[in-house]
Structure 1
Amino acid sequence: MDTQSIIEALDREINRLKQARAILETLPNSEPTKRGPGRPKSSTVTAAPKKRIMSAEARARIAAAQKKRWAAQGKSKA
């Protein structure tokens, strides 16, 4: 391809883009909404999530299970 044909192709592309821009400028203010990945942000300020409170029974069960795992691990090492 010679230089002159490349320049002509570029000029055609520039004219095409100018026409597209002119069409877009004539449209009413219809700006596209800016969207990103993920859940949209809320316009209202939300409170911090509540902490989960574990019952005494649940804590005791977890502690007992952990002690059982520690005892089993101690036996396997000995």
Structure 2
Amino acid sequence: MNTNEILSAIDGEIAKLQEVRSLLTGYSDPTGTPKRGRGRPKKTVSAHPVKRVLSEDAKARIAAAQKKRWAAQKKATK
């Protein structure tokens, strides 16, 4: 075995060991930079929030239910 073959074998072993080390430690590359930073990920901002729209019938049902609750509360206080 000459010196070049020995060096290429050592380089191959080093590459394998670095890959195993990165898998065990959770790092993506052998330089040691982490995949993700610490803490909560940044919030993504949508282009514009979607406005929720109620139908007129739904608004009327909600208003009637609220009036019913107000009447019950008023009756309970008397």
TM-score by length of 2: 0.49
User: Higher RCO, 1 or 2 (CA under 8 Å, sep at least 6)?
Assistant: 2
